[in-house]
Amino acid sequence: MIKVVVFILLSLFSFNAYSFWIWSPQTKKFKNPKYSALVTPYLQYREAQKYFDDKQYKVSLQKFKKLIVNYPDAVEAAESQFFIGKCYQELKQPYQAYLEYLKVLVSYPNSQRIKEIVKSQYEIGEYFLSREPKRWLGVSMYDFVEHPAIEIFKTIVDKVPYSEYAAVAQYKLGVLLMGLVRFDASREAFQKVIDDYPDSEWALPSRYQLAIATAKAYPGGGYDSSALEEATRRLDEFIKKHPHANVVAAATDKLSELRNKEAKKKFDIAQFYEKQKKYNSAIIYYKVVVDDYPDSDYVSLAEEKIKELQSYEE
Protein backbone atom coordinates (compact mmCIF):
# COMPACT_ATOMS: atom_id res chain seq x y z
CA MET A 1 0.00 0.00 0.00
CA ILE A 2 2.81 2.39 0.92
CA LYS A 3 4.54 1.68 -2.37
CA VAL A 4 1.38 2.56 -4.28
CA VAL A 5 1.05 5.95 -2.51
CA VAL A 6 4.71 6.77 -3.12
CA PHE A 7 4.35 5.84 -6.78
CA ILE A 8 1.31 8.10 -7.18
CA LEU A 9 3.09 11.03 -5.52
CA LEU A 10 6.18 10.58 -7.66
CA SER A 11 4.00 10.38 -10.75
CA LEU A 12 2.24 13.62 -9.88
CA PHE A 13 5.53 15.37 -9.17
CA SER A 14 7.00 14.12 -12.41
CA PHE A 15 3.97 15.28 -14.33
CA ASN A 16 4.15 18.76 -12.81
CA ALA A 17 7.88 18.97 -13.32
CA TYR A 18 7.57 17.94 -16.92
CA SER A 19 4.71 20.39 -17.47
CA PHE A 20 6.37 23.51 -15.98
CA TRP A 21 10.11 22.94 -15.95
CA ILE A 22 12.42 22.33 -18.90
CA TRP A 23 16.13 21.64 -19.16
CA SER A 24 18.35 24.45 -20.46
CA PRO A 25 21.51 23.21 -22.22
CA GLN A 26 23.07 26.67 -21.91
CA THR A 27 22.76 26.96 -18.13
CA LYS A 28 22.57 23.18 -17.51
CA LYS A 29 19.66 23.88 -15.16
CA PHE A 30 15.93 23.37 -15.18
CA LYS A 31 13.94 26.55 -15.77
CA ASN A 32 10.29 27.42 -15.64
CA PRO A 33 9.17 29.17 -18.85
CA LYS A 34 6.53 31.01 -16.86
CA TYR A 35 9.24 32.95 -15.01
CA SER A 36 11.98 32.97 -17.63
CA ALA A 37 12.68 35.57 -20.29
CA LEU A 38 12.67 34.81 -23.98
CA VAL A 39 15.95 33.87 -25.60
CA THR A 40 16.93 37.44 -26.56
CA PRO A 41 16.20 40.82 -24.98
CA TYR A 42 14.81 42.02 -28.29
CA LEU A 43 12.18 39.27 -28.38
CA GLN A 44 11.35 39.88 -24.73
CA TYR A 45 10.95 43.59 -25.40
CA ARG A 46 8.70 43.00 -28.40
CA GLU A 47 6.48 40.69 -26.40
CA ALA A 48 6.17 43.18 -23.53
CA GLN A 49 5.51 46.01 -25.98
CA LYS A 50 2.74 44.03 -27.64
CA TYR A 51 0.89 43.63 -24.35
CA PHE A 52 1.40 47.35 -23.62
CA ASP A 53 -0.05 48.32 -27.01
CA ASP A 54 -3.01 46.05 -26.28
CA LYS A 55 -3.48 47.91 -22.97
CA GLN A 56 -2.84 44.77 -20.95
CA TYR A 57 -0.69 46.77 -18.56
CA LYS A 58 -0.37 44.22 -15.77
CA VAL A 59 0.93 41.55 -18.14
CA SER A 60 3.13 44.06 -19.93
CA LEU A 61 4.58 45.20 -16.61
CA GLN A 62 5.67 41.67 -15.74
CA LYS A 63 7.19 41.15 -19.18
CA PHE A 64 9.24 44.34 -18.96
CA LYS A 65 10.37 43.47 -15.44
CA LYS A 66 11.45 40.07 -16.67
CA LEU A 67 13.68 41.76 -19.26
CA ILE A 68 15.29 44.01 -16.64
CA VAL A 69 16.02 41.04 -14.37
CA ASN A 70 17.45 38.80 -17.10
CA TYR A 71 19.07 41.38 -19.39
CA PRO A 72 19.99 44.43 -17.23
CA ASP A 73 22.76 45.56 -19.60
CA ALA A 74 20.84 45.11 -22.83
CA VAL A 75 20.07 48.02 -25.13
CA GLU A 76 16.38 47.36 -24.49
CA ALA A 77 16.77 47.67 -20.70
CA ALA A 78 16.44 51.46 -20.57
CA GLU A 79 13.32 51.40 -22.74
CA SER A 80 11.87 48.62 -20.61
CA GLN A 81 12.45 50.59 -17.43
CA PHE A 82 10.71 53.56 -19.03
CA PHE A 83 7.69 51.46 -19.94
CA ILE A 84 7.56 50.00 -16.43
CA GLY A 85 6.92 53.55 -15.27
CA LYS A 86 4.32 54.01 -18.02
CA CYS A 87 2.56 50.81 -16.94
CA TYR A 88 2.29 52.02 -13.36
CA GLN A 89 0.91 55.33 -14.57
CA GLU A 90 -1.73 53.55 -16.62
CA LEU A 91 -2.53 51.38 -13.60
CA LYS A 92 -3.18 54.56 -11.54
CA GLN A 93 -0.19 54.11 -9.26
CA PRO A 94 1.49 57.52 -9.75
CA TYR A 95 4.02 57.39 -6.93
CA GLN A 96 5.30 53.98 -8.01
CA ALA A 97 5.49 55.31 -11.56
CA TYR A 98 7.63 58.19 -10.29
CA LEU A 99 9.99 55.74 -8.57
CA GLU A 100 10.34 53.65 -11.72
CA TYR A 101 11.03 56.73 -13.85
CA LEU A 102 13.66 57.74 -11.31
CA LYS A 103 15.49 54.47 -11.99
CA VAL A 104 15.91 55.56 -15.61
CA LEU A 105 17.40 58.89 -14.53
CA VAL A 106 19.82 57.12 -12.20
CA SER A 107 20.72 53.97 -14.15
CA TYR A 108 20.24 55.11 -17.75
CA PRO A 109 21.07 58.87 -17.80
CA ASN A 110 21.70 58.76 -21.57
CA SER A 111 18.25 57.44 -22.35
CA GLN A 112 16.40 59.16 -25.17
CA ARG A 113 13.35 59.24 -22.93
CA ILE A 114 14.70 61.72 -20.36
CA LYS A 115 12.53 64.62 -21.56
CA GLU A 116 9.40 62.46 -21.51
CA ILE A 117 10.29 61.15 -18.06
CA VAL A 118 10.80 64.62 -16.61
CA LYS A 119 7.49 65.74 -18.08
CA SER A 120 5.74 62.71 -16.59
CA GLN A 121 7.38 63.22 -13.20
CA TYR A 122 6.34 66.86 -13.18
CA GLU A 123 2.75 65.88 -14.01
CA ILE A 124 2.81 63.36 -11.16
CA GLY A 125 4.08 66.09 -8.84
CA GLU A 126 1.25 68.38 -9.98
CA TYR A 127 -1.22 65.56 -9.35
CA PHE A 128 -0.13 65.25 -5.73
CA LEU A 129 0.09 69.04 -5.35
CA SER A 130 -3.53 69.55 -6.39
CA ARG A 131 -4.85 66.56 -4.49
CA GLU A 132 -6.65 67.16 -1.19
CA PRO A 133 -4.81 65.35 1.62
CA LYS A 134 -6.55 62.69 3.62
CA ARG A 135 -7.57 63.82 7.08
CA TRP A 136 -8.21 62.13 10.37
CA LEU A 137 -10.17 64.16 12.92
CA GLY A 138 -9.31 67.28 10.97
CA VAL A 139 -5.56 66.57 10.92
CA SER A 140 -3.81 66.32 7.55
CA MET A 141 -1.82 63.17 6.79
CA TYR A 142 1.03 65.47 5.74
CA ASP A 143 1.46 66.46 9.37
CA PHE A 144 2.93 62.98 9.81
CA VAL A 145 4.48 62.04 6.44
CA GLU A 146 6.37 64.04 3.84
CA HIS A 147 4.29 65.36 0.99
CA PRO A 148 5.21 63.26 -2.10
CA ALA A 149 5.30 66.31 -4.36
CA ILE A 150 8.21 67.69 -2.32
CA GLU A 151 10.32 64.65 -3.16
CA ILE A 152 9.22 64.67 -6.80
CA PHE A 153 9.92 68.36 -7.45
CA LYS A 154 13.28 68.12 -5.67
CA THR A 155 14.20 65.12 -7.82
CA ILE A 156 13.52 67.07 -11.02
CA VAL A 157 15.68 69.98 -9.88
CA ASP A 158 18.49 67.76 -8.55
CA LYS A 159 18.64 65.18 -11.36
CA VAL A 160 17.83 67.34 -14.38
CA PRO A 161 18.53 70.94 -13.28
CA TYR A 162 18.65 72.25 -16.87
CA SER A 163 15.40 70.71 -18.06
CA GLU A 164 12.46 72.88 -19.07
CA TYR A 165 10.61 71.77 -15.94
CA ALA A 166 13.33 72.52 -13.40
CA ALA A 167 12.46 76.19 -12.75
CA VAL A 168 8.71 75.60 -12.47
CA ALA A 169 9.30 72.54 -10.26
CA GLN A 170 11.43 74.68 -7.94
CA TYR A 171 8.75 77.38 -7.90
CA LYS A 172 5.97 74.88 -7.18
CA LEU A 173 8.13 73.48 -4.38
CA GLY A 174 8.15 76.93 -2.78
CA VAL A 175 4.38 77.27 -3.15
CA LEU A 176 3.86 73.84 -1.59
CA LEU A 177 6.17 74.52 1.34
CA MET A 178 4.44 77.84 2.03
CA GLY A 179 1.09 76.04 2.02
CA LEU A 180 2.52 73.60 4.57
CA VAL A 181 3.48 76.57 6.79
CA ARG A 182 7.19 75.86 6.29
CA PHE A 183 8.02 79.48 5.58
CA ASP A 184 11.80 79.40 5.96
CA ALA A 185 12.07 76.43 3.58
CA SER A 186 9.66 78.18 1.24
CA ARG A 187 11.83 81.29 1.20
CA GLU A 188 14.87 79.19 0.33
CA ALA A 189 12.98 77.54 -2.51
CA PHE A 190 11.90 80.86 -4.06
CA GLN A 191 15.39 82.32 -3.61
CA LYS A 192 16.80 79.34 -5.50
CA VAL A 193 14.53 80.12 -8.46
CA ILE A 194 15.78 83.71 -8.46
CA ASP A 195 19.44 82.68 -8.16
CA ASP A 196 19.54 79.62 -10.44
CA TYR A 197 16.90 80.54 -13.04
CA PRO A 198 17.00 84.36 -13.23
CA ASP A 199 15.92 84.42 -16.88
CA SER A 200 13.01 82.05 -16.50
CA GLU A 201 9.39 83.15 -16.40
CA TRP A 202 9.24 81.92 -12.80
CA ALA A 203 11.84 84.36 -11.45
CA LEU A 204 9.39 87.28 -11.32
CA PRO A 205 6.59 85.52 -9.40
CA SER A 206 9.27 84.04 -7.14
CA ARG A 207 10.31 87.54 -6.08
CA TYR A 208 6.73 88.28 -5.12
CA GLN A 209 6.24 84.94 -3.35
CA LEU A 210 9.52 85.40 -1.50
CA ALA A 211 8.22 88.64 -0.03
CA ILE A 212 4.93 86.98 0.93
CA ALA A 213 6.71 84.02 2.53
CA THR A 214 8.93 86.42 4.44
CA ALA A 215 5.88 88.30 5.69
CA LYS A 216 4.23 85.07 6.80
CA ALA A 217 7.40 84.03 8.58
CA TYR A 218 7.06 87.15 10.74
CA PRO A 219 5.65 85.89 14.07
CA GLY A 220 3.95 89.14 14.97
CA GLY A 221 5.15 89.30 18.56
CA GLY A 222 8.07 90.88 20.35
CA TYR A 223 10.13 93.81 19.19
CA ASP A 224 12.25 92.04 16.60
CA SER A 225 10.69 93.20 13.36
CA SER A 226 13.56 92.31 11.02
CA ALA A 227 11.50 89.77 9.04
CA LEU A 228 8.65 92.26 8.72
CA GLU A 229 11.00 94.98 7.50
CA GLU A 230 12.62 92.57 5.04
CA ALA A 231 9.22 91.59 3.66
CA THR A 232 8.19 95.23 3.29
CA ARG A 233 11.46 96.07 1.54
CA ARG A 234 11.11 93.13 -0.86
CA LEU A 235 7.53 94.02 -1.77
CA ASP A 236 8.42 97.69 -2.27
CA GLU A 237 11.31 96.72 -4.56
CA PHE A 238 9.09 94.32 -6.47
CA ILE A 239 6.43 96.96 -7.13
CA LYS A 240 8.99 99.57 -8.23
CA LYS A 241 10.88 97.20 -10.54
CA HIS A 242 7.82 95.52 -12.02
CA PRO A 243 5.02 98.11 -12.08
CA HIS A 244 3.13 96.27 -14.82
CA ALA A 245 3.24 92.79 -13.32
CA ASN A 246 -0.20 91.19 -13.01
CA VAL A 247 0.24 90.77 -9.25
CA VAL A 248 1.07 94.42 -8.55
CA ALA A 249 -2.41 95.16 -7.17
CA ALA A 250 -2.15 92.27 -4.73
CA ALA A 251 1.43 93.25 -3.89
CA THR A 252 0.36 96.83 -3.22
CA ASP A 253 -2.40 95.70 -0.87
CA LYS A 254 0.02 93.40 0.92
CA LEU A 255 2.58 96.19 1.20
CA SER A 256 -0.02 98.47 2.75
CA GLU A 257 -0.87 95.75 5.25
CA LEU A 258 2.78 95.21 6.16
CA ARG A 259 3.48 98.92 6.53
CA ASN A 260 0.50 99.16 8.85
CA LYS A 261 2.04 96.39 10.94
CA GLU A 262 5.33 98.26 10.97
CA ALA A 263 3.54 101.40 12.14
CA LYS A 264 1.94 99.43 14.95
CA LYS A 265 5.36 98.16 16.03
CA LYS A 266 6.69 101.72 16.25
CA PHE A 267 3.53 102.83 18.03
CA ASP A 268 3.88 100.00 20.57
CA ILE A 269 7.48 100.99 21.25
CA ALA A 270 6.38 104.56 21.81
CA GLN A 271 3.75 103.38 24.28
CA PHE A 272 6.36 101.30 26.09
CA TYR A 273 8.52 104.39 26.63
CA GLU A 274 5.47 106.42 27.62
CA LYS A 275 4.61 103.92 30.36
CA GLN A 276 8.20 104.20 31.57
CA LYS A 277 7.66 107.99 31.67
CA LYS A 278 10.44 108.46 29.14
CA TYR A 279 8.44 110.99 27.22
CA ASN A 280 11.18 112.27 24.90
CA SER A 281 11.85 108.74 23.62
CA ALA A 282 8.13 108.12 23.27
CA ILE A 283 7.69 111.31 21.22
CA ILE A 284 10.51 110.24 18.89
CA TYR A 285 8.73 106.99 18.04
CA TYR A 286 5.31 108.61 17.74
CA LYS A 287 6.87 111.03 15.23
CA VAL A 288 8.30 108.09 13.29
CA VAL A 289 4.74 106.79 12.91
CA VAL A 290 3.53 110.19 11.67
CA ASP A 291 6.44 110.86 9.32
CA ASP A 292 7.17 107.39 7.92
CA TYR A 293 3.71 105.83 7.91
CA PRO A 294 1.29 108.63 6.97
CA ASP A 295 -1.26 106.20 5.51
CA SER A 296 -1.35 103.87 8.49
CA ASP A 297 -4.18 103.43 10.98
CA TYR A 298 -2.02 104.85 13.76
CA VAL A 299 -1.26 108.34 12.44
CA SER A 300 -4.11 110.16 14.23
CA LEU A 301 -3.40 108.37 17.50
CA ALA A 302 0.30 109.17 17.24
CA GLU A 303 -0.41 112.88 16.55
CA GLU A 304 -2.68 113.07 19.60
CA LYS A 305 -0.03 111.39 21.74
CA ILE A 306 2.64 113.84 20.57
CA LYS A 307 0.49 116.83 21.59
CA GLU A 308 -0.34 115.21 24.91
CA LEU A 309 3.26 114.38 25.81
CA GLN A 310 4.59 117.74 24.63
CA SER A 311 2.19 119.40 27.09
CA TYR A 312 3.88 117.42 29.88
CA GLU A 313 7.18 118.97 28.95
CA GLU A 314 5.89 122.55 29.15
Residue 46 lies in a domain: yes
- Mean pLDDT, to the nearest integer, of 245-265? 75
- Mean pLDDT, to the nearest integer, of 189-205? 94
Name residues whose C-beta falls within 8 Å of residue 254's C-beta, 6 or more positions apart in sequence.
211, 212, 215, 235
Residue 184 lies in a domain: no
Q: Do the beta carbons of residue 255 and residue 232 sit within 8 Å? A: yes
Residue 50 lies in a domain: yes
User: Looking at per-residue confidence, does 125 or 228 come out higher?
Assistant: 125
* pLDDT of 13: 46
Query: Is the pLDDT assigned to residue 15 strictly greater than 50?
Result: no
Query: Is the pLDDT assigned to residue 16 strictly greater than 60?
Result: no
Residue 229 lies in a domain: no
* pLDDT of 276: 87
CATH code of the domain covering residue 101:
1.25.40.10
Query: Is the pLDDT assigned to residue 231 strictly greater than 70?
Result: yes
Residue 204 lies in a domain: no
Count: domains in the chain: 1
Rounded distance between C-alpha atoms, residue 120 and residue 49, angstroms: 19
CA dihedral 233, 235, 241, 244 (to 10 degrees): -160
Q: Do the beta carbons of residue 185 and residue 162 sit within 8 Å? A: no
Query: Which neighbouring-strand residues pair with 135?
Result: 140
* pLDDT of 50: 97
Name residues whose C-beta falls within 8 Å of residue 297's C-beta, 6 or more positions apart in sequence.
260, 263, 264
Query: Is the pLDDT assigned to residue 53 strictly greater than 50?
Result: yes
Q: Which domain holds residue 85?
A: 18-112
Q: Do the beta carbons of residue 199 and residue 215 sit within 8 Å? A: no
Residue 23 lies in a domain: yes
Residue 149 lies in a domain: no
* pLDDT of 82: 98
Query: Is the pLDDT assigned to residue 22 strictly greater than 60?
Result: no
Report the chain's C-alpha Rg in angstroms: 33
- Mean pLDDT, to the nearest integer, of 199-227? 77
- Please state, in angstroms and as integers, the Cα–Cα distance from residue 302 to each residue in 72, 232, 258, 295, 299, following that order: 76, 21, 18, 12, 5
Q: Which residue, 150, 139, 159, is CA-closest to 178? A: 150
Residue 104 lies in a domain: yes
Mean pLDDT of the chain: 83
CB atoms within 10 A of CB 188: 15
User: Looking at per-residue confidence, does 134 or 95 come out higher?
Assistant: 95
* pLDDT of 214: 84
